[in-house]
Structure 1
């Protein structure tokens, strides 16, 4: 979570709209709300939680980063946001009818342990949904670095024994190893028409690995990075926006008594 400290405002102005590309699909998978209880883990600035509440769910959002929670409180004041993080959520066993984790398991130190914790807080017969990147925004920033002649250092990757293959099949295996039964995974692709301002806010604001890398540069290197960014946006932009293709793996599973992961939570 260290890479995301203090980036709430920059994230809200940039990647929040990108990550919303899965929201329609998540609502479709969840089905009718009927006032049921839902936990959105790693809720960020509250955009998905607010959408789910609007669809009739009784929503609790859970987000460990304070600036993300501050943005959520301002932009979505009706959403209840709790301070909490995987792999130890501050909720009782079987507390929710559904659990969502949108682009969260790719940011934890142990995805399988985190998957078990997501299952623990869900009632038998509920639904678990999680997403991860197959094609992420990092490809655009790699192009910027190559154009600028900069070598991006890997930022806090997972230990080899904890890592997983960034494909639908690899994500599904990881969740199954974390106790999710009969996982269904599919690919979802969409085009994010990002304005140049949104893209630059993410870098300058330190969002994700690309932003952390930019902030680690000295003044001369930042100048090279900015010039390469401007060149790529000019070459590929259209009307002040750049069309960037992305793909996510979207996984869902239902839990029953035989497969439920339960433990007493202090």
Structure 2
């Protein structure tokens, strides 16, 4: 598991745009808003919550990390943000027409109980996503080039973890009690600006940020040099065209 404390601004300046890449698939899965209510669980800096609201949803954002809530308040003051997170949400049963969790179940300590909690607060659909090809592939290459041992983050115990594939995601959700499931895989290319990627590293975001934070000055120089080498080799028109994939799951109302 990764520590997200204090990374709200760095996340908002970098990976928020990447994680919004699932929005077209989520939009297609849910259809027109028609004034329905939606809770965005693990809403981060509010990027998706604001997008949902602009399309006519009545949106409540729910986010446990104060720096993420602060980033959301600054960027999207029109979106109400509730302090709270999985596996216990501060809402009554069947409070919303839809419960959404974009790249959240892959970060919680108990994915199955968290998925069941999404089902509890929704009287309609549950939509959730997880990475099947995450940003870690890029940082793994950079780490290898730098000669630095890879980041060894905390892993879920075997009885809590799930296979990071569309089929594995579906199995986990069914074990959590979600029914009438449709799971698909989507892929997209994120045109990442190098300065945004480096902001995520210096800001402590995700595994690469945690790795960098633990390096001494010489290690940081080596990591930065490897990053610059990859940027020089891969950038097209000043951006890196990075491929990503995600499993998108929709559980319809019973």
Q: Is the TM-score greater than 0.5?
A: yes
Mapped partners of 1:14, 1:242: distance in 2: 13
Q: Does 1:253 align with 2:251?
A: yes
Mapped partners of 1:195, 1:55: distance in 2: 27
Asked if the contact 1:176–1:182 (Cα under 8 Å) also holds between the matched residues in 2, the reply is no
Asked if the contact 2:2–2:206 (Cα under 8 Å) also holds between the matched residues in 1, the reply is no
Select 2:182's aligned residue among 184, 189, 213. 184
Aligned to 1:28: 28
Aligned to 1:142: 140
Aligned to 1:202: 200
Shift of 1:153: 3.0
Aligned to 1:264: none
Aligned to 1:259: none
Aligned to 2:39: 39
Mapped partners of 1:196, 1:145: distance in 2: 16
| Structure 1 unmatched ranges of 5 or more | 257-266
Mapped partners of 1:217, 1:141: distance in 2: 15
Indicate the RMSD between aligned Cα atoms, in angstroms: 0.9
TM (norm. structure 2) is: 0.98
Question: Deviations for 1:87-108, whole angstroms, at most 9, x for unmatched residues?
Answer: 0000000100001100000000
Question: Deviations for 1:149-195, whole angstroms, at most 9, x for unmatched residues?
Answer: 01113111111111000000000000011111021111100001101
List aligned pairs for 1:76-225, cutoff 5 A.
76-123=76-123, 126-225=124-223
TM (norm. structure 1) is: 0.94
Mapped partners of 1:17, 1:204: distance in 2: 18
Shift of 1:2: 5.8
Asked if the contact 1:63–1:82 (Cα under 8 Å) also holds between the matched residues in 2, the reply is yes
Shift of 1:250: 0.3
Question: Deviations for 1:126-158, whole angstroms, at most 9, x for unmatched residues?
Answer: 111000000000000000000000111311111
